[in-house]
Structure 1
């Protein structure tokens, strides 16, 4: 790839001074080689505690940005070279060489210029995603109607965060802006639906005094996500891994969050109640620890139920077919791939090839699922098009007007 781009740059700078051309090409090769070397070195480091740090993620993100930029540049050059190929073959068949004796035309500078312009789009976009987009918090409001919602809870609001991935943060003040935005919603209930850290419990420690600012009149509740179990790095022993998980559970308590581990709790208002259920992680192709039946012990069929379950495939495969009606499930996990397009008429992300429901509201026979796009980020240190989310759910009694 780099050799092919090298040829395009030479064509682009054909009229420039030879020293300038050599300097530009040298800088290009230096950036490419250094980025790949840093990526290879840090890949080996990322397999051990404390896992992938913000520095590792920046290296990976820059590599991916350059890779996609190069692909776009190459595609444009290839269109020009395909034309050159057909023109040359035509001249060869006709035995009609060009003035310089060659049958094939030279690369046109205009093609290289077009390649630079088009390649600049992903280059600029991905750097925006890394510098600004990953902290560009958006509030998504969703009103959901239920015929059997207890009247006391008509208008009850829930603020949901998911996938904080605190080990990825590199700008505490930007994170605080997101927390302040969540606080400003003044909801009745706060819930967090998993992946507090990337791998290690200590990742959340620098942010405890920030995220413990999130309070609600009816409490703060949380569950575990697949990353919280520490499965993606090597540990010295099973005891060390278990101790890390216990530390993380303790941090939930310090944050002021009641961690629901396959259990439920009744929220009462004016003599009526709804039941909040929380399960450990259960995901297709991911760790399956959660047990919904255990979590629902003591819950009556007529109770209004809200379930916290990190992975939306749990709803897809089990919850929506469960004998007991679970009215609303709140999930996260997908991040919306941190990349995509969301407009009034178009909604696309590459993650849609893996998940039936990857962001926003879904419904199946009066069983609702809301998938939060995630507060943080992982691996790619940025977000583009799929911005970090603070969800506000309003429960309403009756049917939408």
Structure 2
């Protein structure tokens, strides 16, 4: 009987040790993945791309959020900004959520001053974490000379040829209005449309999608912590459709980035949801 109890204790001890080892391995890898930002290049082909924009590169990044309730990850933010600065690009697009907590906004924007503005500008939309006090977020963005797209668009011109970049307010806390954002843009124009929350794609009309050569979204963090790439949690209604990556529905493309930062249970970790900087290379066909 004593031997049986001893064997049982040994089994329980082994199981406990294996479990702790598994957790430790998970945490070590997740911290490693979090720190290793991948550069993803995607070619966008369209007959609507003007000749002057053929081969131009547009860098897209979102969901910085290098803060938890009690910490601000200044080191990783600096690394991300330096990596963005190193990339060849003509335009930068920012998909919202620059900090998680209002108390760390100033710290983020202080570091963001080191983000070099490319020749044809930086264009930014609001994420859900730019609220509350959207006025403060707007002032910070204006101060560092970003073009804010809040149910509006901007025309980018090179030698009299144009493309358009449009964006809407956040779906949860703002008033998302694609009709207003795409006003004046024709089907034959090349236009990039940004919405922080990919669920808004469900609310866009066919006409609005036709005037957007590609929609860019964020917010999901690619699941942040997934089951080996399978997204089980994302703060959206349609996570099976818009969890991560390039999707095409009804002939209309939407790309959902995994973002570059975020946290999980107050930890700076990711599991099979690697942070990314995306570079879209335009190709006229």
- The structure having more radius of gyration, on CA atoms, is 1
- Post-superposition offset of 1:217: 1.1
Give 1:2-401 correspondences, 5 Å limit.
Answer: 107=8, 109-129=10-30, 131-168=31-68, 170-200=72-102, 202-212=103-113, 213-230=115-132, 244-282=133-171, 286-287=172-173, 289-318=175-204, 322=208, 324-340=210-226, 347-351=229-233, 354-355=238-239, 356-380=241-265, 381=267, 382-398=269-285
Give TM-score scaled by structure 2 length. 0.86
SS in 2 for 1:374: coil
- Post-superposition offset of 1:170: 3.2
Q: Deviations over 1:30-70 (max 9, x none)?
A: xxxxxxxxxxxxxxxxxxxxxxxxxxxxxxxxxxxxxxxxx
Query: CA separation of 1:320/1:369 partners in 2, compared to 1, >3 Å: closer, same or farther?
Result: farther
Give TM-score scaled by structure 1 length. 0.63
- Post-superposition offset of 1:119: 3.6
Partner Cα distance (1:321, 1:300) in 2: 10
Structure 1 unaligned runs (5+)? 1-98, 231-243
- Post-superposition offset of 1:180: 0.9
How many residues align? The count is 276
SS in 1 for 2:169: coil
- 8 Å Cα contact 1:148/1:397 also seen in 2: yes
- Runs of 4+ aligned residues of structure 1 deviating over 6 Å after TM superposition are none
Partner Cα distance (1:320, 1:144) in 2: 20
Partner Cα distance (1:141, 1:221) in 2: 19
Partner Cα distance (1:376, 1:108) in 2: 42
- 8 Å Cα contact 1:166/1:204 also seen in 2: no
Aligned position for 1:71: none
- Post-superposition offset of 1:269: 1.6
Greater RCO, 1 or 2 (C-alpha within 8 Å, sep 6+): 2
- 8 Å Cα contact 1:199/1:229 also seen in 2: no
Partner Cα distance (2:85, 2:125) in 1: 20
SS in 1 for 2:278: strand
Partner Cα distance (2:152, 2:278) in 1: 23
SS in 1 for 2:135: helix
- 8 Å Cα contact 1:135/1:178 also seen in 2: no
Query: CA separation of 1:245/1:215 partners in 2, compared to 1, >3 Å: closer, same or farther?
Result: same
Higher strand content, 1 or 2: 2
Structure 2 unaligned runs (5+)? none
- 8 Å Cα contact 2:178/2:208 also seen in 1: no
- Post-superposition offset of 1:331: 0.9
Higher helix content, 1 or 2: 1
Query: CA separation of 1:339/1:321 partners in 2, compared to 1, >3 Å: closer, same or farther?
Result: farther
Q: Deviations over 1:87-118 (max 9, x none)?
A: xxxxxxxxxxxx67x9x996251353134214
Query: CA separation of 1:322/1:197 partners in 2, compared to 1, >3 Å: closer, same or farther?
Result: same
Partner Cα distance (2:99, 2:88) in 1: 25
Partner Cα distance (2:209, 2:252) in 1: 12
- 8 Å Cα contact 1:280/1:291 also seen in 2: yes
- Post-superposition offset of 1:259: 1.0
Partner Cα distance (1:179, 1:148) in 2: 31
